[in-house]
Amino acid sequence: MAGLSLLCAMLLCTAVAHAKPMMRKERVIQDSELGRRTPEDNKSFQYDHEAFLGKEEAKTFDQLSPEESKDRLGKIVDRIDGNADGYINTEELKTWIKRVQKRYVYENVAKVWTDYDLNKDDKISWDEYKQATYGYYLANIEEFQEESDQFSFKKMLPRDERRFKSADLNGDLLADREEFTSFLHPEEFEHMKNIVILETLEDIDKNDDGYVDEDEYIADMFAHEDGGPEPEWVRTEREQFSDFRDLNKDGKMDQDEIRAWIMPQDYDHAQAEARHLVYESDQDMDEKLTKEEILENWNMFVGSQATNYGEDLTRNHDEL
């Protein structure tokens, strides 16, 4: 039963949340795996491969022979060349990488769609989602009376309902695939950004004053054990809070400051990766790539997000 399996998963998350010391949490919204590295960090193509494709997909691609990799990459290049002029420029690469990133999100939703579309009408109602996710809890509330931390079902249910209604643009409480995608992946949709900010605030704001102070900010990343000294990185984060997070210097972060923190606007990871690929492969320095230049440097491209779309070539997916 989907609800029971999700129940177990949520309980597991709750148990993990009690572990000390806590692992440092990554709140900043990145362009999927692209945001976890800089384009200059290219010491290992295998690192690129795992960072851009994910470990499982990287393993699959690693099993291809060089000949198969080059052949697959050549077909992908033809698809990237949107104006069919025989050259791949930075903008075309950037567009392609962003499409790949978005495609991963939709594939993720497709995998779980049938778990929630209980009546098979190709829409998911709030009642269907609630039953699939919280059905066991709602039928056995007495078992959960002792659950009191922030991830309890009592708090998560209204939070999910609020997010579902925000994603439901036409207000019919029936989510089509686009709406359900924005519900499950709100960080990918502009109209859901306020929900992401609000949920981040609620996660960290332990005293419920509507702000995140320095201690709450640190507590989200690190928990003291036996009153020991703070690691150096924690002291650095305190400086980050004072110097860069608390923009108006009132000792706390409001929602606007949280937005600036978790949704930085000063770096486009897809563009940086596109520039990186062009720079590393542009043999004649004309700031664009031919298929020959790309295939000459094929072992770097198979480790980038550009190749993730190659699987579609064998499945005739033309939606992108």
Predicted confidence (pLDDT) per residue in 144-190, tens digit: 766 554 457 888 999 999 999 999 999 999 999 999 999 999 988 98
**Least confident interval from 3-12, 23-32, 125-134:** 3-12
Query: Tokens standing for 128?
Result: 């269907």
User: What length is written for the chain?
Assistant: 320
Helices (H), the chain: 2-17, 45-53, 55-62, 66-80, 90-116, 126-139, 153-167, 177-184, 193-204, 214-219, 232-240, 255-262, 269-281, 291-296, 298-301
Please report whether residue 260 resides in a domain: no
Please report whether residue 179 resides in a domain: yes
Please report whether residue 142 resides in a domain: yes
pTM exceeds cut of 0.85: no
Contact by Cβ (8 Å): 70, 297: no
Torsion from C-alpha of 301, 48, 107, 133, nearest 10 degrees = 180
- The residues that bridge with 213 in the sheet, in sequence order, are 252
Torsion from C-alpha of 107, 271, 307, 88, nearest 10 degrees = 130
Q: How far is the C-alpha of 238 from the C-alpha of 255, rounded, in Å? A: 19
Contact by Cβ (8 Å): 73, 301: yes
* Mean pLDDT of all residues belonging to the chain: 79
Of the candidates 40, 36, 39, 42, the residue with the CA atom closest to the CA atom of residue 54: 36
The DSSP letter of residue 289 is E
Please report whether residue 150 resides in a domain: yes
Please report whether residue 70 resides in a domain: yes
Torsion from C-alpha of 196, 199, 200, 206, nearest 10 degrees = 170
Of the candidates 161, 115, 166, 119, the residue with the CA atom closest to the CA atom of residue 138: 161
Count structural domains, the chain.
Answer: 1
Please report whether residue 44 resides in a domain: yes
Is 201 buried (19+), middle (13-18) or exposed (0-12) by CB count in 10 A?
middle
- The residues that bridge with 253 in the sheet, in sequence order, are 212
How does pLDDT run across 94-152, given as a tens digit for each residue?
A: 888 787 777 778 888 999 999 999 999 999 999 999 999 999 888 887 777 665 544 57
Q: Is 237 left (phi over 0), alpha (psi -120 to 50) or beta?
A: alpha
Please report whether residue 154 resides in a domain: yes
What mean pLDDT do residues 298-316 have? 55
Decide if pLDDT at 1 tops 60.
no
**Least confident interval from 19-33, 243-257, 286-300:** 19-33
- Give the range of the structural domain holding residue 142, as residue numbers without chain letter: 2-205+270-314
Q: Measured between alpha carbons, how far is residue 148 from residues 151, 154, 156, 192, 230 in Å?
A: 8, 8, 11, 27, 28
Please report whether residue 230 resides in a domain: no
**Least confident interval from 45-49, 100-104, 271-275:** 45-49
SS3 285: coil
Decide if pLDDT at 38 tops 60.
no
